Amino acid sequence: MSKLGSIVSVMALVSASSLALAGEWQALPSKAPEPASNPSTPAKVELGKILYHDPRLSSTGTVACASCHNVMAGGEDNRAGSVGVHAQVGGRSAPTVWNSAFNSVQFWDGRAASLEAQAKGPVTNPIEMGMKSWDDVVARLKQIPGYPQAFAAAFGSSDSVTADNAAKAIAAYERTLITPNSPYDKFVNGDKSALNDQQQRGMKLFAETGCNSCHSGPAFNGPTLPEGTGFYQKFPMHDNGVLEAQYNFTADKGRAQETKNDADAHLFKVPTLRNIALTAPYFHNGKVKTLNDAVRVMAKLQLDKDLTEAQIEDIAAFLNGLTGEFPKQEMPRLPGYPGKTFDFN
């Protein structure tokens, strides 16, 4: 708790007014930090891209990482709850994979300290990809001739098909999923025509309202912190019976479900606002369908402010300016399993 306590303190200090200074607006770096334990290489990234798109990492052979975190779109699935194997629906809305390399922790509750740790979770989650164990995944991968080759190219040849290496490759690929050069970034970098008047009003209002108390930094997900640190906020901050009846936000205890510590109740990782226009519906339970409603609800529940429709429109226009440039990607070829397949359930 002392770590969380100090982070919440940090958050309070980094106040809206100080962030509203022009110098505090930060463009997105074109490269994400990578841990010393998993330096990126082209072979690793390529293997990660293949694994990320391979539905054979699921029990049914139908669900890949990309199924719920679609890199052809906003990096998630535009659903309240994602659909895993056997049509099971997840309890929290899929966060975007785009720019996830700039989160200091992963998952809504921050339970993974790294992309590597995150990558292992859904594969063996019974309602997501449904594999019984990573041993079963590795056994499959070893039977597909192209995989031992690709793992050898990425990690060296001596029995390198392992869960840890699969996760490392996927994480290395995810660190390439960055969307720089949004209108906002161009604006911050000096092109004053990149945001229109409404968007510039929205940008000012975003800061004045206090949105960047939490949604600060280059990814609008809080200050840049060492991997594994976590930047959380209580949600909702202010009780509101009407909105609670409508959206049922407090049914999910957030980080406390992971830590079993009441002090973490309703704490959630502050999510990035990068490409937020592409990731409706919104919030941990996906119950808020439009960006305008999300802005209205956030202002009320977190900052106890009632925005006018015009203010909401302006802030939403600004947030649309956070949609970046998506790197061109070649489709991976999934290595074949010649003349055979697996017993998908």
Site residues (vs a second copy, CB under 8 A)? 53, 55-56, 60-62, 67, 70-74, 77-79, 83, 86-87, 277-278, 280-281, 289-292, 316, 319-320, 323, 326, 328-334, 336-342, 344
Min separation Cβ 120 and a second copy, Å: 22
Min separation Cβ 71 and a second copy, Å: 7
Buried-state track 44-70, b at ≥16 Cβ within 10 A, e below 16: bbbbbbbbbbbbbbbbbbbbbbbbbbb
- Write out the H or E segment, with its range, that includes residue 268: strand 267-269
Residue 117 in 3-state DSSP? Answer: helix
Instruction: Identify which of residues 140 and 168 has a Cβ nearer to a second copy in the complex.
Output: 140
Min separation Cβ 290 and a second copy, Å: 5
A 10 A CB-CB count for 344 gives 12
20 CA to centre of own chain: 25
Residue 293 in 3-state DSSP? Answer: helix
What residues does 282 pair with on adjacent strands?
288
Burial level of 319, CB count in 10 A (0-12/13-18/19+)?
Answer: buried
Instruction: Identify which of residues 44 and 140 has a Cβ nearer to a second copy in the complex.
Output: 140
| Contact between residue 282 and residue 107 where contact means Cβ atoms under 8 Å apart | no
Instruction: Identify which of residues 179 and 233 has a Cβ nearer to a second copy in the complex.
Output: 179
Min separation Cβ 280 and a second copy, Å: 4
* Residue 146 in tokens: 């192209």
Distance CA 220, CA 138 (A): 37
Min separation Cβ 256 and a second copy, Å: 29
Instruction: Identify which of residues 79 and 204 has a Cβ nearer to a second copy in the complex.
Output: 79
Instruction: Identify which of residues 154 and 295 has a Cβ nearer to a second copy in the complex.
Output: 295
Instruction: Identify which of residues 83 and 112 has a Cβ nearer to a second copy in the complex.
Output: 83
* Residue 224 in tokens: 């840049």
Catalytic residue among 46, 128, 174, 227: 128
A 10 A CB-CB count for 289 gives 12
* Residue 258 appears among annotated catalytic residues: no
What residues does 267 pair with on adjacent strands?
234, 254
Catalytic residues, which ones? Answer: 128
